[in-house]
Amino acid sequence: MSSAHPARAVVIGGGTVGLCCAMHLLRRGYEVTVMDRGAPGNGASGHNAGLFSVGNCLPTSTPGVIRSVPRMLTDPHSPLAIRWRYLPRMLPWLLRFIASGRPAQVERASVAIAGLVKQALRAWEEVLPPGASEGVVINGGHLLGYGTDAVFAKAAFAIETRQRRGIDMRILDAEGVAGLAPILEGRFRHGVYIPRGPWADPRLLCAALTDLLVSEGGRRLSAEVTGFAQSDDRVTVVETADEKVAADVVVIAAGAWSKHLTRMLGFATPLDTERGYGVDLPDPGVDLPFPIISMDYHFAMTPLPGGLRLAGTDELAGLEAPPDFRRADRLVDATRLVFPELRTHGAERWMSYRPSHPDSLPVIGRAPRHTNVYLAYGHGHIGFTLAAITGEIVGQLVSNEDPALDPAPFRPTRFRILERG
């Protein structure tokens, strides 16, 4: 930057994606303000399974997804469910989601996701140097566990796709699974082990990132963004109820709520939310050596410093509907099927909002009509994993550097941009 004063960047959203964008802008010499209406980790970034899901390169919609639609609509407990009341509003998203499950689309999406995933850990190590990640990031692998031969057989397409994308993984039979740790003896018929797949307590990670931001000179403002002042094709001021913050660059990284902000600027991408549920068990009586994803029930069991976190499932019901905590209770029931010794005393249930586009790809790029607004949202099931590489790409795009990978698959204009009103 050539001007006497550093350029001012405002990042809207203090989840992991916003914080990683902020760190990259800060380290490029910007004066950075992160605005978030809640405490660090209040969004999906603090309420997820905490896995660096480097074995995951598949979109949520895969060939045959259409066959699961009747169950989605009729069984409120199915791993992917939609509330009837929300169906009319969700229909355009749902139709795009189903269309995204065509084999050619899935192939393209998996190439794009794998491109991000393969750089995810390196990017995290650069955002969070060893001093900052110590005691937060736990190194090791994680396991996808299959309880029956039938579930494993159904996973053939996903496993083959991972293999084609060169994902580092080991396919195990029951004996191989048991060989990973004695507690796994007799628990799963098959497994896929991701040897380099660390994890973290997401609340600790959000707090560590926020501390790092402040220690390197960034500012975090606890406030809700309510509007923008614009001049020609630029946003000049970001407004909250109490403050107007001048901006040379604006990044919208507000997770599932990003569509409210882009609408204020006259456009929106087809962003909705895949709601997920969780249960934190402070004294589970099950001592897992590493996280396990139950592929039978589609949720993760993650051992964290404060106990065991169960997290997952997918509910299409928008941002306003009250939580249905029976979905969280199902996670406990499903864990008990594998670990009958599970204890639930002191359990805390929660729900959070994955920000999701129907093609399971995030938007990372410049806004369609504003030359100083950048978009970083829609990371769906793997935003915790992809936050650092997203921040890196945003930093590079803002500074006109060559990006770490071709961002074309993530461009906002891949959708027909929805106009305001």
Three-state DSSP class for residue 376 = strand
User: Residues 50, 147, 395, 409: which binds ligand FAD (CB under 6 A)?
Assistant: 50
User: Residues 13, 59, 307, 358: which binds ligand FAD (CB under 6 A)?
Assistant: 13
Instruction: Based on the shown chain and the rule CB under 6 A, indicate whether residue 281 belongs to the binding site for ligand FAD.
Output: no
CB of 413 vs ligand FAD, minimal distance in Å = 20
- CB of 342 or CB of 394, closer to ligand FAD: 394
CA angle, 356 then 63 then 274, to 5° = 20
What's the CA gap between 198 and 193, in Å, rounded?
12
The Cα-based distances of 85 to 69, 90, 91 in angstroms read 15, 9, 11
- CB of 174 or CB of 221, closer to ligand FAD: 221
Alpha helices in 2-102 (DSSP H): 16-26, 69-74, 87-99
Q: Which stretch binds ligand FAD (CB under 6 A): 180-188, 231-239, 338-346, 349-357?
A: 349-357
What's the CA gap between 214 and 23, in Å, rounded?
10
Q: Which stretch binds ligand FAD (CB under 6 A): 93-101, 135-143, 156-164, 252-260?
A: 252-260
Q: Which stretch binds ligand FAD (CB under 6 A): 86-94, 124-132, 317-325, 350-358?
A: 350-358
CB of 279 vs ligand FAD, minimal distance in Å = 10
- CB of 51 or CB of 137, closer to ligand FAD: 51
User: Residues 22, 35, 268, 295: which binds ligand FAD (CB under 6 A)?
Assistant: 35
Instruction: Based on the shown chain and the rule CB under 6 A, indicate whether residue 141 belongs to the binding site for ligand FAD.
Output: no
User: Residues 6, 28, 42, 76: which binds ligand FAD (CB under 6 A)?
Assistant: 42
- CB of 13 or CB of 101, closer to ligand FAD: 13
What's the CA gap between 210 and 217, in Å, rounded?
11
Beta strands in 217-271 (DSSP E): 219-222, 225-231, 234-240, 244-246, 249-252, 267-268
Looking at residue 145, its amino acid is G
What's the CA gap between 11 and 106, in Å, rounded?
31
Instruction: Based on the shown chain and the rule CB under 6 A, indicate whether residue 16 belongs to the binding site for ligand FAD.
Output: yes
User: Residues 278, 303, 409, 412: which binds ligand FAD (CB under 6 A)?
Assistant: 278
User: Residues 220, 354, 366, 370: which binds ligand FAD (CB under 6 A)?
Assistant: 354
User: Residues 44, 72, 331, 361: which binds ligand FAD (CB under 6 A)?
Assistant: 44
Instruction: Write the burial class of residue 118 (CB in 10 Å: 0-12 exposed, 13-18 middle, 19+ buried).
Output: middle
Instruction: Give the DSSP letter of residue 406.
Output: -
Three-state DSSP class for residue 215 = helix
The number of residues that bind ligand FAD (CB under 6 A) is 44
CA angle, 363 then 61 then 110, to 5° = 60
User: Residues 29, 38, 103, 346: which binds ligand FAD (CB under 6 A)?
Assistant: 38
Quick one: CA dihedral 258, 408, 391, 116, positive or negative? positive
CB of 180 vs ligand FAD, minimal distance in Å = 19
Instruction: Based on the shown chain and the rule CB under 6 A, indicate whether residue 334 belongs to the binding site for ligand FAD.
Output: no
- CB of 127 or CB of 189, closer to ligand FAD: 127
User: Residues 384, 388, 392, 415: which binds ligand FAD (CB under 6 A)?
Assistant: 384
Supply 117's token pair: 């995933």
User: Residues 18, 218, 395, 407: which binds ligand FAD (CB under 6 A)?
Assistant: 18
Beta strands in 266-358 (DSSP E): 267-268, 272-281, 292-294, 299-304, 307-316, 348-356
Q: Which stretch binds ligand FAD (CB under 6 A): 30-38, 61-69, 230-238, 410-418?
A: 30-38
CB of 421 vs ligand FAD, minimal distance in Å = 19
Reported residue count of the chain is 421
Instruction: Based on the shown chain and the rule CB under 6 A, indicate whether residue 357 belongs to the binding site for ligand FAD.
Output: no
User: Residues 379, 391, 394, 398: which binds ligand FAD (CB under 6 A)?
Assistant: 379
Backbone phi, psi, residue 300, to 5°: -110, 150
User: Residues 385, 394, 395, 407: which binds ligand FAD (CB under 6 A)?
Assistant: 385
Instruction: Based on the shown chain and the rule CB under 6 A, indicate whether residue 145 belongs to the binding site for ligand FAD.
Output: no
Of 387, 295, 311, residue with least CA distance to 49:
311
The helix-helix angle for 103-117 and 156-164 (nearest 10°) equals 50
Give the contacts of 40 (CB within 8 A, at least 6 positions apart).
14, 46, 203, 206, 207, 209, 210, 220
Interacting residue ranges for ligand FAD, rule: CB under 6 A: 12-18, 35-38, 42-45, 48-51, 53, 224-225, 253-257, 261, 276, 278, 300, 311-312, 352, 354-355, 377, 379-385
